[in-house]
A and B are shown apart, each in its own frame.
Chain A
């Protein structure tokens, strides 16, 4: 798979239009790596001039900040900003809403000013400008798809429409859960919960959310966040519905429909 790094680009005297911030999940989590690859396929197909940081990338610091450890967060942020500013990065795309939020909203105060977009926004732009076309009778034509709003994309940054418009491009039937958009229920992973057991309660949050999703009778639960993907996939396994319901990232849906 052709994935140029910033170091290689600069060695060749080139500067990409956009940096793809892969994130820790996208780099290391087996499920999330598939999302990363789907996005790279789309970027390559559309001949987007991009690069990744590769081994120069490091955790954005989001989980540290949400866990209350501002020291670890700021050390991460400042190191990353050194690297990003060193490469004169202007625009960043990421498939992780947590990285998206941190880079977009929290890095500026530490000296990191970039235009940061979520991958669904980039893909939407590629389709709208005619750079990406989807096969007419796509795999998802007529299928029921529901979209689970990641908190750090939706409520935190008011991005609700980009992923939905992409689903609409699939000729699929978008079915909304009873709690959606600004009223969407969290998957349970935010605020560093991804890395710890939940506190004592009577139910897991991802089970509650998966029930919202399965109540729509959708065949696909679409997400735009690697953490949400994990949580919803676990919820579907718990409900023993792996055979009938798939949890897919919007990038995977589009890559599939574009026959990539």
Chain B
């Protein structure tokens, strides 16, 4: 085994293992959530995933970013073929291993990848411009200050470097081939005939000596590999994790009517007991019954695993916030911030629990330390955020669960709503009208 193969294998193993470790951590964190049944209706789930994640269906309500995003998405998916060859070459110490066996198909595939890479390059530049020059309002909101903005720009820069590596590799190799010095076919003069690099290569690299070209080609090759592994390991720390989680997250989408809020079974039990005249209020609970859980959510561990997966899937695009009636009219609520807060708090809780044991409490909570009551009470439960999300994230269910805790555990509720609830309890309407008068309208003119 020569030194470059050894180096390749070591780098690949380190990169993949570290990624696997981070995935395990995220899986552990999502597992901190409460159970929620989302494994039924497999056909409908698969269809949702194919349409929404794979087919990008919901992106297209905003066509310009949708098209730009599609360029990156398709290029990303198809480029994995080239990555497969890089791995094969790296392990076998080959150069363009599949070229001789695939022939024309190889030329076509790499040409296709190159065209997609050019479109991805342009899209990335436009995305950078949208964030930094055009300063799109939804990308410049309060919650985006600091790390989120840096994160977004870093991702785009990584992508540019990756694309530059691809063209350096293919371009330099093209010129080498023209000089009869490519390792793909040593001693033969020719052109790979790839769509972009056969033109771009000579323009960029013709001035270099053959030795320098070999170095440039290797820089592109190793650069590509290191960028891919680096990027892979950056993902778990970044909003960009959506490229992986978009698929499971849409698969486990809520398939029920959006207006249906979850039924709290724990409350049903209590209410039934309350309404049952034969119930013994002093009866001891069955020895097998689990201790009563908290009503609603105070912290991330009171949310369902799907809420937590939602949080990791969010790529902070802000479509939810830009369609939120409360946010549009200047209120504090931003559904995107709800998701970011949930994720940030989950990372914190997960880290602490792994360090100090699973029962460790740090005295902080999602409610209060991250999300304020004012944000929660601004929500009109209109479902615009849920409808907008291109990867079917549901910020509303988190908002409602936090409200439930505030109201049922802490009795913290705006004054007017206390009145409304008292009226419902006393006279069966949110206003102070007698239930006996409900039909008065029939006799009024």
Judging by beta carbons under 8 Å apart, are B429 and A24 in contact?
Answer: yes
A85 within 8 A of B: no
Interface residues of A in 55-82 (CB under 8 A from B): 55, 57-59, 61, 63-72, 74-76, 78-79
Contacts of A207 in B (CB 8 A): 329
CA distance A208 to B154 in the complex (A): 37
Judging by beta carbons under 8 Å apart, are B421 and A72 in contact?
Answer: yes
Interface residues of A in 123-173 (CB under 8 A from B): 151-152, 155-158
Judging by beta carbons under 8 Å apart, are A76 and B424 in contact?
Answer: yes
Judging by beta carbons under 8 Å apart, are B421 and A67 in contact?
Answer: yes
CA distance A53 to B438 in the complex (A): 9
> Who on chain A is nearest to B261 by CB?
A65
A196 in contact with B414 given A76-B424, A110-B263, A156-B383 (CB within 8 Å): yes
Judging by beta carbons under 8 Å apart, are B377 and A199 in contact?
Answer: yes
Judging by beta carbons under 8 Å apart, are B331 and A155 in contact?
Answer: no
CA distance A193 to B403 in the complex (A): 13
- Nearest-neighbour CB distance to chain B for A258, whole angstroms, equals 20
Partner of B257, one of A27, A67, A156: A156
A189 within 8 A of B: yes
* Residue among B256, B268, B425, B428 with the highest chain A CB neighbour number at 10 A: B428
Partner of A59, one of B328, B380, B383, B428: B428
Interface residues of B in 410-441 (CB under 8 A from A): 413-414, 416-417, 419-421, 424-425, 428-431, 433, 435-441
Contacts of A194 in B (CB 8 A): 430
A54 within 8 A of B: yes
B259 within 8 A of A: yes
Contacts of B171 in A (CB 8 A): none
A191 within 8 A of B: yes
Contacts of A186 in B (CB 8 A): 325, 380, 382, 384
- Nearest-neighbour CB distance to chain B for A155, whole angstroms, equals 4
Judging by beta carbons under 8 Å apart, are B329 and A202 in contact?
Answer: yes
A198 in contact with B331 given A37-B441, A208-B325 (CB within 8 Å): yes
A205 within 8 A of B: yes
- Nearest-neighbour CB distance to chain A for B228, whole angstroms, equals 38
Judging by beta carbons under 8 Å apart, are A24 and B431 in contact?
Answer: yes
A86-94, A101-109, A242-250 - interface stretch: A101-109
Judging by beta carbons under 8 Å apart, are B436 and A71 in contact?
Answer: no
A5 within 8 A of B: yes
> Who on chain B is nearest to A53 by CB?
B438
Contacts of B64 in A (CB 8 A): none
A13 within 8 A of B: no
Judging by beta carbons under 8 Å apart, are A71 and B431 in contact?
Answer: no
B271 within 8 A of A: yes
Judging by beta carbons under 8 Å apart, are B441 and A205 in contact?
Answer: no
- Nearest-neighbour CB distance to chain B for A230, whole angstroms, equals 12
CA distance A66 to B259 in the complex (A): 10
CA distance A69 to B403 in the complex (A): 8
Contacts of B323 in A (CB 8 A): 183
Contacts of A182 in B (CB 8 A): 387
Interface residues of B in 240-296 (CB under 8 A from A): 256-261, 263-264, 267-268, 270-272, 274-275, 295-296
A52 within 8 A of B: yes
Judging by beta carbons under 8 Å apart, are A192 and B259 in contact?
Answer: no
Partner of A68, one of B263, B408, B444: B408
A203 in contact with B329 given A37-B441, A106-B263 (CB within 8 Å): yes
A199 in contact with B331 given A5-B439, A182-B387 (CB within 8 Å): yes
B332 within 8 A of A: yes
> Who on chain A is nearest to B439 by CB?
A54
Interface residues of B in 130-182 (CB under 8 A from A): none
12 A-B pairs whose Cβ atoms sit less than 8 Å apart in the complex: A27-B439, A54-B438, A57-B438, A59-B429, A71-B408, A76-B424, A106-B261, A110-B268, A155-B383, A189-B380, A200-B374, A208-B329
A residues whose Cβ falls under 8 Å from a Cβ of B = 1, 3, 5, 22, 24, 26-28, 33, 36-37, 40, 52-55, 57-59, 61, 63-72, 74-76, 78-79, 101, 104-106, 109-110, 151-152, 155-158, 182-183, 185-186, 188-205, 207-209
For the complex of A and B, list the 8 residue pairs with the smallest distance between their C-beta atoms, beginning with the closest: A156-B259, A191-B381, A68-B403, A202-B330, A58-B428, A186-B382, A201-B330, A105-B260
